[in-house]
Homo-oligomer: A and B are copies of this chain.
């Protein structure tokens, strides 16, 4: 294959890269044109503005993953059901029929699964997982993508066999900003406090539910056992600890691979370490590597 253009197009940001045939990132930039910041009917123009600096020739392959394939995005790319490998994902790419500049623009579908009758979905994380598999030379593993809606993903023989979502980041944000818990915290976020984080992790792990453990962010503050500037890290520890509690990882032998930005994966590494679970991390390059793999699959 020749090179291609990769787009990581999420809810709040758009990252674009020119990727060489061998996977090297030749150029990269980003903007705040996440899908929530695209005006009605504005996707072709935002796309054109984003790729023009990379000077693509007509016919160049452009692959976009993330919420751009949702109902609120450019073109809805129906979810691909699990179990799903790279081939299934490549086969279900949704193609834009009238893309600007005669480019070949494909939208990667998200994945869906059903557990006990309840559906679960992801968009964009599937590409990161496949990228992480390639970066680490793995065919199996448990992958964790922390964030607004964290994903825990199981991979067997190179295929994603299942996953579950946790509203960890969003629940943190609404409790921090809209609940009574924020009242004993400073408005501005203070520097991260690892000790407070780990205290939150351990308190959540020993509780039966976050509905109960979250109240400790208030009572510890009431009894002056938690300083106001420790509040945000403590609460972050509570929600991460709750997410980990639900996994029952202790003595499982599972060594998760964390995929995401440095600041967030570091928190999870600390939290996992505190409960005796080893992990390793892969960062933003996972998306480009995953899209590169898909581009290769399309050319074969």
Contact = CB atoms under 8 A, between A and B. Distances in A.
B243 A164 contact: no
A168 interface: yes
Interface stretch (A40-48, A218-226, A255-263): A218-226
A177 B179 contact: no
A201 interface: no
Nearest to A120: B219
Interface string A170-205: 110011011110000000000000000000000100
A215 B149 contact: yes
Contacts of A121: 219, 222
A115 to B, nearest CB: 9
B242 A119 contact: no
Interface of A: 71, 116, 118-121, 149, 164-168, 170-171, 174-175, 177-180, 203, 206-212, 214-216, 219-220, 222-223, 225, 239, 242-243, 245-248
A212 B178 contact: no
B167 A214 contact: yes
A71 B221 CA distance: 13
A206 B115 CA distance: 11
- Copies held by the complex: 2
A210 to B, nearest CB: 6
B215 A120 contact: yes
A216 B168 CA distance: 14
Contact of A246 (B208, B220, B243, B248): B208
Given A120-B219, A171-B171, 10 more contacts: A118-B216, A121-B219, A165-B219, A166-B212, A166-B215, A168-B211, A171-B214, A177-B178, A208-B246, A209-B246
Contacts of A116: 206
29 contacts: A71-B222, A118-B203, A119-B222, A119-B225, A120-B215, A149-B215, A164-B212, A165-B212, A165-B215, A166-B209, A166-B211, A166-B212, A166-B215, A167-B179, A167-B211, A167-B212, A170-B180, A171-B171, A171-B179, A171-B211, A171-B214, A174-B178, A177-B178, A208-B248, A209-B209, A209-B242, A209-B243, A211-B243, A212-B246
